[in-house]
Amino acid sequence: MTAYFPPLRDMEFVLQELAGLEEISALPGFEEATPDLVASVLEEAGRIAEEVLAPINAAGDRQGAQLVDGAVRTAPGWRDAYRTVVDGTWTGLPFDPRFGGMGLPGLVNAAVAEMWQAANMAFTLCPMLTQGAVNAIDHCGSEAQKALFLPKLVTGEWTGTMNLTEAAAGSDLGAIRTKAAKSGDHYRISGQKIFITYGDHDLAENIIHLVLARTADAPPGVKGISLFIVPKFLVEADGSLGARNDVHCVSLEHKLGIHASPTAVMSFGDADGAVGYLVGEEHRGLEYMFVMMNHARLNVGIQGLGIAERAYQAALAYARDRIQGKPVGCAELSPIVDHPDVRRMLMTMKAEIEAMRALVYVAAAALDKAERHPDAAARERAKRYAELLNPVVKGWCTELGVEIASLAVQVHGGMGYIEETGACQHLRDSRITPIYEGTTGIQANDLVNRKILRDKGDTARGVLEEVSSLARDLAQRNDDAFRSIGAALAIAAEEARRSLDWVIAAQAEDPRLPAGAAVPLLRLFGTVLGGHQLARAAVAARRRLDGGDPQTAFLDAKLKIAWHYAESVLPQASGLAAAATRGARTVMTLAASQL
């Protein structure tokens, strides 16, 4: 079993130096997010991660959630842990105090989420999904719906789910067949949904399902999908629970990981049809889903980050403890952390994790600004930036999360392959993150089609120009590390810019070319933008050191980590750029029958 220690110092460095917590706290509505309050919120959330959530993670994996007599029993310790969540109103952290929330920035929520996902991803999916449901109802529901459902969802007394996928409708939601038949002031929902996270459980007295379904007269495809609220127990006007609704969990999936997160097949309308309430207007369901997509995808990106940090901590602890041979350059038997190849793995993991954390927090801050900035132009700028980052954060952080979890297994050697060690659980858990909430391919197509091609690359070019500008500045400094970072960053940004131009030109030639280029392009952007954040971190660390900050070892590490990333990771940019351009031309050269 692996332990987890919240990396509060690293997190606070990023919040302050890179994500601009001070600026975010100054946004209207976030006045209470003072540095002291934020620090104490993070400390308490970290304590819960370390002491409540992490210790039940391995047992949850072993026992899993179970379906017994039509109801899901969560894993040992889950109910107690969930009570802690409700007692602290943690689900409500980023939500309106009007509904019982804490009213804190999404940026702070992201930092809390990192720790909880690291500590126990299978558990934290539950409050994460509830936050998604709150977002949906808050943005798209009626005032009456908000009044009826939000207070209990915000406190976590009830939980929420997203019912999108059907057996024949995964990435293509246009194929949804679940039906919604109008019946007075509500609808009757019937159909089967799969892959419903926490579709049933014993943590809360009610579950509010958000369900995509098709009304009788709906046009085919994505334009005929509507969004419905389908409570497990109907809710009376006074908020009390009424009759059991006609929605049931009929089975749970056996998955590679996140065993303790019940992944349910949900059946709607086995009897008369489940009572559902239309959210907003008919046929606008997909549009409403997109409203909360940015938050949902950011949250999955955070899972990639969190699990990578957890896996890294496990690998580091093992490497410091395990003695095996005399590392080259050492006179005596030493822990394997002194073997250069083990050190290489740990350095690369740490560098990529710090790059991810910075990009995730910066993306969360951009969402806050996009929603709260008093200046409309600044809101719009922040929105474009946040939307560009969103698929990158989701795709790049989850792919890296899997790779880092796999490297953590490798650092453990043979012990890594033994389940009791705990390293493989992180790998197994992480493997879902590049799949759900839109696969990496879906993210990449979102990046290319919606975030790049729609504005002819303007936003992306602007972001890359910021990177190049910093690179030029660093390359001129009288310091080997900064010069190397500047040089590597300049080359990588140029590769990204050339690939961007290529993709835009290729779209006119054959739209399959950008689609074939999309994933390497996404990884290229992640690699470059992550490197940019590490370079910013190095600059901030240098400034603090020059200003006499006594945390010299900590700050020195920021410089070295940025340097290592610049020399070991950023050079991947040219291979990614080649795959995204020349490589895209070879993707469709075979007939499917030749594969």
Separation CA 137–CA 180 (nearest Å): 18
**Any long-range contacts for 147-150 (C-beta under 8 Å, 24+ apart)?**
148/235, 148/237, 148/239, 149/208, 149/229, 149/231, 149/235, 150/95, 150/99, 150/100
> Which window, 28-36, 239-247, 325-333, 543-551, contacts its own copies (CB under 8 A)?
325-333
> Which window, 10-18, 126-134, 235-243, 569-577, contacts its own copies (CB under 8 A)?
569-577
Q: Please tell me whether residue 519 binds its own copies under the rule CB under 8 A.
A: yes
Separation CA 470–CA 478 (nearest Å): 15
Residue with tokens 């290489």: 344
> Which window, 70-78, 209-217, 354-362, 575-583, contacts its own copies (CB under 8 A)?
575-583
- Closest by CA to 120, choosing from 73, 52, 62, 66, is 52
Contact in structure between 156 and 123 (CB atoms under 8 Å): no
Q: Please tell me whether residue 413 binds its own copies under the rule CB under 8 A.
A: yes
- Out of 247, 296, 302, 402, the only residue in the binding site for its own copies (CB under 8 A) is 402
| Smallest separation, CB 569 to its own copies (Å) | 8
Separation CA 507–CA 122 (nearest Å): 40
> Which window, 4-12, 108-116, 146-154, 416-424, contacts its own copies (CB under 8 A)?
416-424
Structure tokens at 205: 């007295």
Closer residue to its own copies, CB minimum distance, 311 or 386? 311
How far is residue 152 from each of residues 92, 160, 234, 274, 544, measured CA to CA in Å? 10, 10, 14, 21, 44
Q: Show the CA angle centred on residue 181, arms to residues 178 and 183, nearest 5°.
A: 150
- Out of 409, 496, 503, 506, the only residue in the binding site for its own copies (CB under 8 A) is 409
Which residues between 252 and 311 bind its own copies (CB under 8 A)? Answer: 253-257
380 is catalytic: no
Q: Please tell me whether residue 505 binds its own copies under the rule CB under 8 A.
A: no
The secondary element (H helix, E strand) that includes residue 209 is: strand 206-215
- Residue 215, sorted as left (phi over 0), alpha (psi -120 to 50) or beta, turns out to be beta
Q: Please tell me whether residue 343 binds its own copies under the rule CB under 8 A.
A: yes
Q: Please tell me whether residue 205 binds its own copies under the rule CB under 8 A.
A: no
Q: Please tell me whether residue 129 binds its own copies under the rule CB under 8 A.
A: no
b/e per residue, 325-352, with b = 16+ CB within 10 A? eebeeeeeeebbbbbeebeebbbbbbbb
- Out of 32, 340, 469, 501, the only residue in the binding site for its own copies (CB under 8 A) is 340
- Out of 28, 220, 329, 548, the only residue in the binding site for its own copies (CB under 8 A) is 329
From residue 469 to residue 498, the character string flagging contacts with its own copies as x (rule: CB under 8 A) and all else as - is: ---------------x--------------
Which residues between 132 and 171 bind its own copies (CB under 8 A)? Answer: 165, 168, 170-171
| Smallest separation, CB 300 to its own copies (Å) | 13
Structure tokens at 310: 């957890």
| Smallest separation, CB 414 to its own copies (Å) | 5
Any idea what DSSP says for residue 174? G
Q: Please tell me whether residue 538 binds its own copies under the rule CB under 8 A.
A: no
Q: List 186's β-bridge partners, or say none.
A: 183
Q: DSSP string spanning 451-500?
A: IIITTTTHHHHHHHHHHHHHHHHHHTSS-HHHHHHHHHHHHHHHHHHHHH
Q: Please tell me whether residue 453 binds its own copies under the rule CB under 8 A.
A: no
> How many residues bind its own copies, per CB under 8 A?
101
Q: Please tell me whether residue 172 binds its own copies under the rule CB under 8 A.
A: yes
Closer residue to its own copies, CB minimum distance, 472 or 582? 582
| Smallest separation, CB 570 to its own copies (Å) | 8
Q: Please tell me whether residue 593 binds its own copies under the rule CB under 8 A.
A: yes
Q: Please tell me whether residue 357 binds its own copies under the rule CB under 8 A.
A: no
Q: Please tell me whether residue 342 binds its own copies under the rule CB under 8 A.
A: yes
Q: Please tell me whether residue 591 binds its own copies under the rule CB under 8 A.
A: yes
Catalytic center residues: 437
